[in-house]
A and B are shown apart, each in its own frame.
Chain A
Amino acid sequence: QSVLTQPPSASGTPGQRVTISCSGSSSNIGSNTVSWYQQLPETAPKLLIYSDNQRPSGVPDRFSGSKSGTSASLAISGLQSEDEAEYHCAAWDDSLNGWVFGGGTKLTVL
């Protein structure tokens, strides 16, 4: 069971806006920054969002991140078929003195 809680699945149609949540606690999301990773089928995870809401160079602005208290969210607007992937959230946990991840959310584009 993962320390950070994500819904196991999400879906949307092309062009729609989809949001994926990531719930934690005061020792992780509540006191440290959140990062998000996109994992396309049969590939390694790739950094999508860092420091709660920053996009690395090359990541489309359709992807955005936000955080409030002990929860974070990833939003994807203008959904495209190539966005079909698994999405993972992560944060450092001060109590565990280590990294914690969400269980991953599989996004299906209908």
Chain B
Amino acid sequence: QVQLQESGPGLVKPSETLSLTCTVSGGSISTYYWSWIRQPPGKGLEWIGYVYYSGRTNYNPSLRSRVSLSLDTSKNQFSLKLNSVTGADTAVYYCAREEALRWFDPWGQGALVTVSS
């Protein structure tokens, strides 16, 4: 079955760019929507955005000015970049496959990213 795995630095300095990659195994990235979702410590889930296999993107309005999503079909990966980070961006970041604006399944195991100098 399809599995997702996040990778990237666990520590990012304030004002720098957070970069994460999600590797998809057991299926092709060339279908579906692919989303990023984050969860600050002790808080609820927040959708960051999705990238469609065609390359079309859609972002959470509250993060739109700082976020960029892309995908690499040759590597079966999709990526997140969030610039100008602050402590408020400290969170566990999850990648997930999205079923046409209806549900998320499966999810990656999550990657904790801490923003600190």
| A and B together in one complex | yes
State the A residues within 8 Å of B (CB). 2, 32-33, 35, 37, 43-47, 50-51, 56, 88, 90, 92, 96-104
State the B residues within 8 Å of A (CB). 35, 37, 43-47, 49, 58-61, 94, 99, 101-110
Establish whether residues A104 and B107, one from each chain, have CB atoms under 8 Å apart when the complex forms. no
8 closest A-B pairs by CB: A99-B47, A47-B105, A35-B103, A50-B103, A103-B44, A101-B45, A44-B107, A104-B44
Q: How far is the CB of B100 from chain A (nearest CB, A)?
A: 10
Q: With A97-B58, A98-B60 given, is the CB distance from A35 to B44 under 8 Å? A: no
Most central of B35, B45, B108 by chain A CB within 10 Å: B45
Residues of chain A lying within 8 A (CB to CB) of residue B45: 37, 45, 88, 90, 101, 104
Establish whether residues B105 and A50, one from each chain, have CB atoms under 8 Å apart when the complex forms. yes
Q: With A44-B107, A44-B108, A97-B58 given, is the CB distance from A92 to B102 under 8 Å? A: yes
Question: Of A46, A92, A96, A104, which one neighbours B101 at CB under 8 angstroms?
Answer: A92
Q: How far is the CB of A7 from chain B (nearest CB, A)?
A: 13
Q: With A102-B44, A104-B44 given, is the CB distance from A47 to B58 under 8 Å? A: no
Residues of chain B lying within 8 A (CB to CB) of residue A37: 45, 104
